[in-house]
Amino acid sequence: MVPGEDEDRSAGPAGPFSLKQLTRLDEALTLSSRETGVQFSLYVGALGPDPRRNAEDLHAGLGGAAPDSVLVAVSPGERRLEIVTGEHTAKRLPDRSCALAALSMTASFNGGDIVGGVVNGLRMLADQVGKPSLTPR
């Protein structure tokens, strides 16, 4: 008998990422959100003919959390990356910081490491956002 021959694979991920990769992504999103008080979200998939608009629509779909959130949208097949910040988050995360994180992520993507690029990009974004403010807005 070959090891793994009778394993039930129906419980595994059906997408492009392994369970280990999904765990890394989930951990990076959770830690980034917990450390900053900002909801970090990730979308990986097609963004269509108007990638920025579609990423903004996805971000708006976060509902009440959208003002205090960041969406990282990655479309590997289209070679696109969009970072959308909410109204409140934009004050804590300038465009320049997003551009630097995007540059780092795309360098990893070009090397074939989507997960590593996203994880490092989330870390950079969270570092720039900083700790949550204790004073009301």
Q: How far apart are CA 5 and CA 82, in angstroms?
A: 41
Per DSSP, the residues of 117-133 read HHHHHHHHHHHHH-SPP
Domains of the chain (ranges, CATH numbers): 17-129 (3.10.310.50)
What pLDDT does 12 receive?
A: 55
Q: Give this prediction's pTM.
A: 0.84
- pLDDT < 50 regions, the chain: 1-9, 135
Structure tokens at 81: 């990356």
What pLDDT does 110 receive?
A: 93
